[in-house]
Amino acid sequence: MAACKSIVDYEDVLKTRSALPRGFRAGSVALTFHPRELPGDKLYRMNLSLIELSDGKGVAAGVFTRNAFPGAPVLLCRERIDGPSIRGILVNNKVANVCAPGGFDDACRITESLAAAAGGKSEEWLYASTGVIGWKLPVPEIDASLPTLIKSLQAESALPAARGIMTTDRFPKIRSVPAGEATVLGIAKGAGMIEPNMATMLAFIMTDADLSREELSRALGEVVEDSFNAVSVDGDQSTSDMCILLSSRRSPAPAYGDFVEALRQVCTGLARDIVRNGEGTSHVIEVAVSGARCREEARGFAKAVVNSPLVKTAIYGNDPNIGRLVSSLGDYAGNNGIPLDGKALSIRLGGELIFSGGEFRISPELETRLSSYLEKKSFSPELKGYPEHDETVLIEIDLQSGTGSSRVWGSDLSYEYIRENAEYRS
């Protein structure tokens, strides 16, 4: 993506990506409510978004959080995802519906109301929620908003839904890739609590490719590991994470491999957008590990670096404190019983060799170049509305112990991250 200099620039980019695949409609509306768990009478805003398969004959596949306290919508979707037909998915922000009294029954009642208003059976509708954990859904307010939500549905653009599912996100995220005569389009939200073990936050992918549920499930399983599972913002796996792949089956299916590649591009693009959109993020960190004994070991080393608070804060400050990279690698190896040959290890930052032969390669000139490199890759953590660029801080690590490799993306750690999370419910 070319650098965006304004919200208008980014809106133009999104317009080129937002055309819905055949057989889909999407819409979004806002409502206000007062959380019953809070004192006073302050009203909060909630968005309701709906993705509908217009003829009600769609199929779906999904991957979900492995958090031991999954939200009620996750439980509902797990039950319904393999049904004979799926009509669509309803999404609310602001309230996660996790461990709230009667939360599962509330989600079921809302889908019953949706089915009565939009058609089909309750079990043909999926539901997703994101927001504050512990709050109860405002069921009367949601039910009252459903007729207006249904009237908002249109078949042209995914942008209203992409905006509607946002919480602390700084900009909407849409990716679209052709797959033969079909299209693969995805929208996502996510800014904090991102350390997925299957997907990340909320991602909804739409296609008109005529593929079976089994093919969709297999394809999704093939791509999430190197896309959504390869990102981290703050190391917290949410209770509400899910990635849903919906197909209207309205267009001829491409070759399976071509579909998987299109899906991979969409998921990887959304995953990187989520990191760039992370709460308080001012650098996107890309860690590429090679030479591990296996892929899983490479992934572990990469995430040890990208999740290190000391590495994150150094990069936020444009400080090439490269000792923190070696420390994080050694810590992970030692705590997991992994042999690590320091003399064989090499590390590059921004293409510059900074460690090899068991020794740092530091000089005043290198320090200056690395500081400048980090500064050029930064963007304002307070910027709202659009991403300034697609640049990353590249850290390359060669363990020289085998052929395993992995690449992950993460964010730095800024003052703005602390402020946003301290003020999240206010």
For the segment 225-239, the average pLDDT, to the nearest whole number, is 72
In a shared domain, residues 415 and 334: yes
Q: Is 151 annotated as a binding residue?
A: no
Q: Indicate the pLDDT class of residue 68, thresholds 50, 70 and 90.
A: confident
Q: Is 376 annotated as a binding residue?
A: no
User: Does residue 239 fall inside a structural domain?
Assistant: yes
* Cα distance between residue 60 and residue 210, in whole Å: 12
- pLDDT at site 424: 55
Residue 252 belongs to domain with CATH number: 3.60.70.12
State the Cα angle at 193 between 192 and 195, rounded to 5°: 120
User: Does residue 92 fall inside a structural domain?
Assistant: yes
In a shared domain, residues 93 and 235: yes
368 contacts 359 by C-beta, under 8 angstroms: no
In a shared domain, residues 221 and 145: yes
In a shared domain, residues 318 and 359: yes
Taking only the tens place, the pLDDT of each residue in 347-390 is: 999 999 999 999 999 999 999 999 999 999 998 877 678 888 88
Residue whose token pair is 């709460």: 279
Taking only the tens place, the pLDDT of each residue in 336-358 is: 999 999 999 999 999 999 999 99
User: Does residue 19 fall inside a structural domain?
Assistant: yes
How do 125-129 and 88-92 pair as beta strands?
parallel
Radius of gyration of the chain from Cα atoms?
22
Q: Is 229 annotated as a binding residue?
A: no
User: Does residue 1 fall inside a structural domain?
Assistant: no
Strand ordering across the sheet containing 173-179: 59-64, 242-251, 202-209, 182-189, 173-179
In a shared domain, residues 22 and 156: yes
Q: Which two tokens stand for residue 336?
A: 């997991």
In a shared domain, residues 259 and 335: no
In a shared domain, residues 310 and 179: no
Angle between helices 213-224 and 256-276 (to 10 degrees): 50
User: Does residue 83 fall inside a structural domain?
Assistant: yes
Q: Is 189 annotated as a binding residue?
A: yes
In a shared domain, residues 290 and 257: no
Residue 333 belongs to domain with CATH number: 3.10.20.340
Q: Is 307 annotated as a binding residue?
A: no
Q: Is 112 annotated as a binding residue?
A: no
How do 24-33 and 44-53 pair as beta strands?
antiparallel
User: Does residue 7 fall inside a structural domain?
Assistant: no
> What residues contact residue 97 under an 8 Å CB cut-off, 6+ apart?
71, 72, 73, 103, 106, 107, 129, 135, 136, 137
In a shared domain, residues 52 and 186: yes
Pick from 276, 310, 335: which residue ends a domain?
276
Q: Given the residues 200, 239, 268, 392, select the one marked as catalytic.
A: 200
User: Which amino acid does the sequence have at 48?
Assistant: L
In a shared domain, residues 68 and 120: yes
> What residues contact residue 86 under an 8 Å CB cut-off, 6+ apart?
53, 58, 59, 60, 80, 124, 125, 126, 246
User: Does residue 381 fall inside a structural domain?
Assistant: yes
Which of 335, 63, 333 shows the shortest CA–CA distance to 197? 63
Pick from 276, 299, 333: which residue ends a domain?
276
pLDDT over 70, % of the chain: 94
Run of H or E including 108 = helix 103-118
State the Cα angle at 245 between 241 and 249, rounded to 5°: 165
Q: Which two tokens stand for residue 125?
A: 């509708």
- CA dihedral defined by 217, 206, 172, 115, rounded to 10 degrees? -100
Give the range of the structural domain holding residue 410, as residue numbers without chain letter.
Answer: 284-422
Is pLDDT above 70 for 33?
Answer: yes
Pick from 237, 259, 276: which residue ends a domain?
276
For the segment 274-302, the average pLDDT, to the nearest whole number, is 92
Which of 167, 214, 163, 220 shows the shortest CA–CA distance to 191? 167
Q: pLDDT higher for 91 or 379?
A: 91
How do 404-411 and 393-398 pair as beta strands?
unpaired
Distances (CA, A) of 226 to 49, 84, 289: 28, 29, 13
Distances (CA, A) of 363 to 274, 355, 366, 416: 35, 12, 5, 32
Catalytic residue check, 200: yes
In a shared domain, residues 293 and 386: yes
User: Does residue 84 fall inside a structural domain?
Assistant: yes
Angle between helices 323-335 and 309-316 (to 10 degrees): 170
Is pLDDT above 50 for 194?
Answer: no
In a shared domain, residues 47 and 68: yes
Where b means 16+ CB within 10 Å and e means fewer, 72-102 reads bbbbbbeebbebebbbbbbbbbbbbbbebee
Number of domains making up the chain: 2
Run of H or E including 285 = strand 284-292
